[in-house]
Structure 1
């Protein structure tokens, strides 16, 4: 099970190449041989970088959807739109497909942010706007999301 940590500020060049920060590159090293998936996000105007092993887990969930239900097909179509397999080259760079750059409004300055088992790739200004929240609002959100009885304390954390 993969758990990414940290956020990074980076730049992307005119060709859409992103030089991975050394801390993130070190986390990704064991995953290089399997490759990665990049896609449009479901939860914001950003891109998602999935290690293949985590993507395969997600695909198992998708395959369980009943394809005779129109809403399921519509979801799958939109979820899979723009999905690309990518690799990280020997220099530690990845190429963001040009078709995906406009979706996330990525120009030059970007933010890479952990989404636990994948990495979000944001235009830096858009990311800063997205994470702005009043401290008391975040406290209430944390209590609602994490403070309830719904947390499975027996969940596997390995």
Structure 2
């Protein structure tokens, strides 16, 4: 199973291509992944990047929980899959992020941050990512609230 960690500031070129950081590419190669699914994040103004295998695992979980004969379930599925698209790493280690998707999450400049979140990567506008960063005090309070203090965090 792939596990991405760290955050990396990157630049988009004029065509919307981004060179995936070497540490992420190395993890992808170890997991034999070269294909990814981009999807607008449900909760934040960022783009989720799922390795294809992880995306398929997530879709399997949805299939197990959602009935194709339930109208609300189908509405959720439509919303979930809306705008998602598959991309591949090119020979130079880049992926193309469509301009429309960048606009949807208000990435306006060329500086972005890629954030490793275990099984996926998030793509953020650099300024928005920095503005939304949690303070140490906020993190400690959240750790207590979620009862993770017993994990030694």
- Scaled to the shorter chain, the TM-score interval is 0.7 to 0.9
Q: Is it true that 1:130 corresponds to 2:132 in the alignment?
A: yes
Contact kept, 8 Å, 2:33 with 2:52, in 1: the verdict is: no
Alignment match, 2:12: 12
Contact kept, 8 Å, 2:5 with 2:118, in 1: the verdict is: yes
SS state at 1:119 partner:
strand
Using the size of structure 1 for normalisation, the TM-score is 0.85
Alignment match, 2:68: 67
**Unaligned runs of at least 5 residues, structure 1:** 152-158
Q: Is it true that 1:30 corresponds to 2:30 in the alignment?
A: yes
Structure 1 stretches of at least 4 aligned residues deviating more than 4 Å after TM superposition: 31-34
Distance in 2, matches of 1:15 and 1:38, equals 17
Q: Check 1:102–1:32 CA distance in 2 against 1; reply closer, same or farther (3 A cut).
A: farther
Alignment match, 1:156: none
Q: Check 1:33–1:118 CA distance in 2 against 1; reply closer, same or farther (3 A cut).
A: closer
How many pairs are equivalent? 149
SS state at 1:53 partner:
helix
**Unaligned runs of at least 5 residues, structure 2:** none
Alignment match, 2:93: 92
Using the size of structure 2 for normalisation, the TM-score is 0.88
Alignment match, 1:139: 140
Q: Check 1:22–1:134 CA distance in 2 against 1; reply closer, same or farther (3 A cut).
A: closer
Q: Check 1:22–1:14 CA distance in 2 against 1; reply closer, same or farther (3 A cut).
A: same
SS state at 2:14 partner:
coil
Q: How far has the Cα of 1:129 moved from its partner?
A: 1.7
Contact kept, 8 Å, 1:34 with 1:53, in 2: the verdict is: no
Q: How far has the Cα of 1:67 moved from its partner?
A: 2.7
